[in-house]
Amino acid sequence: MKRRVFLKNTIATGAAVVAANAGLLTPTTVLADWNKDAFSAKSTGDALNSVFGSSATAASGDIKLKAPAIAENGAVTPVTVDATAMSGVESIAILASKNPVPLVCTYSFSGAALGYASTRIKMGETMNVIAVVKADGKLYQAEQEVKVTIGGCGG
């Protein structure tokens, strides 16, 4: 009986220690604050302005944007942005033009990272997926229309 209690206690304290460690180990690098302005902007232009400080983009064939032509379920649209053919890629932003908040996600790269990001996004209706890549201080853009048969943002 005592052995049971002992075991129970050690497991409980063990879990607590693990939790404490996890707390201590969380990001050692200082995180950039979540860009609230960009993520509440209602148009793609405004969103780009607050992410990159500019919305002037040039089309580029070096960005490989992979998204389905027809998404059966808009709630899970796979999107891949491959800018590894470009040099000096600093960051990538993925936007869905007609979503209530167009900006979906941003990735900024440093150190060992390559300009590549793959994710799955929600889309409410048929619209363009836009990938904006910042390379060597300039903005480049690629976009593709995705036809959505079932929206992914409603209840």
Partner 1 sequence: MSIKIRMRGKSKGGVAEVKALIKHPMESGVRMNKKTGKPFPAKFIDTVTVTVNGAAAVDSQWSGAVSANPYMAIKVNANSGDEVKLALTDNTGATGEASLKLK
CA dist 51 and 37 (Å) reads 9
Indicate the residue among 129 and 142 with the shorter CB distance to partner 1: 129
- What are the CA-CA distances from residue 31 to residues 12, 106, 116, 118, 124 (Å)? 32, 14, 20, 21, 30
**Sites for partner 1 among residues 35-64 (CB under 8 A):** 35, 39
Indicate the residue among 30 and 58 with the shorter CB distance to partner 1: 30
Interface pattern 124-153 for partner 1 (x via CB under 8 A): ----------------------------xx
Binding flag, residue 24, partner 1 (CB under 8 A): no
1: its two tokens = 């009986």
Query: Of 7-15, 62-70, 94-102, 137-145, which segment contacts partner 1 by CB under 8 A?
Result: 94-102
Among 50, 75, 97, 151, the residue binding partner 1 under the rule CB under 8 A is: 75
Neighbours of 127 (CB within 10 A): 19
Nearest to 65 by CA among 45, 86, 46: 86
Among 64, 122, 138, 147, the residue binding partner 1 under the rule CB under 8 A is: 122
Burial 23-40 (b: 16+ CB within 10 A, else e): eeeeeeeeeeeeeeebbe
Residues at the interface with partner 1 (CB under 8 A): 22, 25-29, 31-32, 34-35, 39, 75-78, 80, 84, 96, 99-101, 103-114, 116-122, 152-155
